[in-house]
Amino acid sequence: MIEPHGSTTLDARYVKDEQARKALAAEADRLPSLLLNSAAAANAVMLGAGYFNPLKGYQDLADALAIAERMSTADGLFWPVPILNLTQDISGIEPGERVALRDPNLPGNPVIAVQTVDKIERVDSAALAKIVQGVFGTSDPAHPGVATFNSHGRVLLSGPIEVLHFSYFEKEFPDTFRTAWQIREAIAARNWKTVVAFQTRNPMHRAHEELCKMAKAAVNADGVLIHMLLGKLKTGDIPAPVRDAAIRKMVELYFEPNTVMITGYGFDMLYAGPREAVLHAVFRQNSGCTHFIVGRDHAGVGSYYGPFDAQAIFHDKVPAGVLKIKIFEADNTAYSRKLQRVVMMRDAPDHTAEDFVQLSGTKVRDMLAAGQDLPVEFARPEVAAILREYYQSQDN
């Protein structure tokens, strides 16, 4: 199986041994505590699940600045996005101490991890601006990722962590949330050698379905990993349980049996476009996938990034050989009225816009909310029914 990024074995920061985990929880009760923001809690989940291998914890300011500038830590590890624990208040916490990190997303704010604090650093405005510009490619406060990042605070706590649990993801998504090592185990159990990963934060329509099938056929893969984001999105995006139900129905009815794994991961969307696409590739390699689909406007928002910037970054800024996973570059896919099938638009140069069945997100939402059927060329009827029920419930 493909090796994880930066190491030969996966180093998940979750404490798997039950007795050791109980001892750590008991220790946490005696430690000073810090209430995390949602992004730092999501980073703890990803570190615990092994997705951020080979990182052992939160990065320091030198790493954050180096990553923002050249996608490499201060000591030379390729890494695309800083993994940080930024906060506003560090009352009672000193460097060298261990601190109990509390989960902001669960009632009572239970301890999610214990951190050994190597450094406490204040991030000045110039440093913060460099990190934001490097990661997001913009400092526009209207960008949802920039706005969220700028709200996290100016005090940075770095150091390794030991993770006790996976926040709300295991309980709310017991059939979907999986760690990187669990996905590796499932791939091995299926004896899959070549695996294509598909990232989604949205329901999958006909175009997405066919894209997965095209990629699988193109690389002669044994299977497809549909890997959905289960964490926080921007206002207006469809909640994870609805997406999960829609995707499961699509796979059940329209994919060959035993060719798809449906899983999810616990992270908050960054909307960082190209940099986030590279991060997505890193943790799909950590999950054991050999190929990763990067499509048009991958991980983007608004008009902040060019339609193929998330593909170009792998050619222009990712050094050759630093990632073992291969990128499958996809164009927009849509149903062709001429050919009566879904195609990549770049493969139909003789088509005009009217030859494709395409709907804007706004048009789709309006039709579903009004109880109208989506064109079968655009969405499977069974998937559309699940989405229609959700949108109509929002209006009641």
- Quickly count: other Cβ atoms within 10 Å of residue 391's Cβ: 18
Domain locations along the chain: 18-170, 175-394
**Catalytic site residue 190?**
no
- Residue 330 CB contacts under 8 Å (≥ 6 apart), including other chains: 211, 214, 215, 293, 294, 295, 296, 344
Count of alpha carbons within 13 angstroms of residue 72, beta-carbon side: 10
- Whether the pLDDT of residue 163 is over 90: the answer is yes
- Whether the pLDDT of residue 233 is over 80: the answer is no
**Catalytic site residue 201?**
yes
pTM, full prediction: 0.94
Given the residues 201, 206, 275, 388, select the one marked as catalytic.
Answer: 201
Q: What is the pLDDT of residue 364?
A: 84
Given the residues 154, 202, 248, 365, select the one marked as catalytic.
Answer: 202
User: DSSP assignment of 78-146, as one string?
Assistant: B-SS----EES--TT--TT-EEEEEPTTSTT--EEEEEE--EEEE--HHHHHHHHHHHHS---TTSHHH
- Whether the pLDDT of residue 319 is over 70: the answer is yes
Number of H helices, E strands in the chain: 13, 15
Quickly tell me which residue has 């704010």 as its tokens: 109
Q: What is the pLDDT of residue 159?
A: 98
**Tokens linked to 173:** 């998504």
Residue 44: burial class (beta carbons within 10 Å; 0-12, 13-18, 19+):
buried
- Provide the pLDDT confidence category of residue 208 given band limits of 50, 70 and 90: very high
Quickly tell me which residue has 């060719």 as its tokens: 259
Q: Residue 201 corresponds to which amino acid?
A: R
Same fold, 18-170 and 175-394: no
Q: Where are the alpha helices (DSSP H) in 261-359?
A: 274-286, 309-316
Residue 289: burial class (beta carbons within 10 Å; 0-12, 13-18, 19+):
buried
pLDDT in tens, 275-301: 999 999 999 999 999 999 999 899 999
Q: What is the pLDDT of residue 359?
A: 79
Q: Where are the alpha helices (DSSP H) in 206-360?
A: 206-218, 240-254, 274-286, 309-316
- Whether the pLDDT of residue 253 is over 80: the answer is yes
**β-pairing verdict for 57-58 and 155-163:** antiparallel
- Whether the pLDDT of residue 395 is over 70: the answer is no
- Sheet of 291-294: strand order equals 260-265, 223-229, 195-200, 291-294, 326-329
- Whether the pLDDT of residue 234 is over 70: the answer is no
Computed over every residue of the chain, the mean pLDDT equals 94
pLDDT in tens, 323-344: 999 999 999 888 999 999 999 9
Cα 101 from chain centre: 22
- Provide the pLDDT confidence category of residue 141 given band limits of 50, 70 and 90: very high
Pick from 382, 172, 391: nearest CA to 264 = 172
Pick from 198, 203, 170, 201: nearest CA to 260 = 198
pLDDT in tens, 12-59: 999 999 999 999 999 999 999 999 999 999 999 999 999 999 999 999
Please, which residues bridge with residue 99 across strands?
Answer: 115
Average pLDDT for 336-359: 90
- Homologous superfamily (CATH) for 18-170: Sulfate adenylyltransferase (3.10.400.10)
Topology (CATH) of 175-394: Rossmann fold (3.40.50)
- Whether the pLDDT of residue 235 is over 70: the answer is no
- Whether the pLDDT of residue 237 is over 80: the answer is no
Phi–psi pair at 15, nearest 5 degrees: -85, 100
What is the C-alpha to C-alpha distance for residues 381 and 375, in angstroms, rounded to an integer? Answer: 8
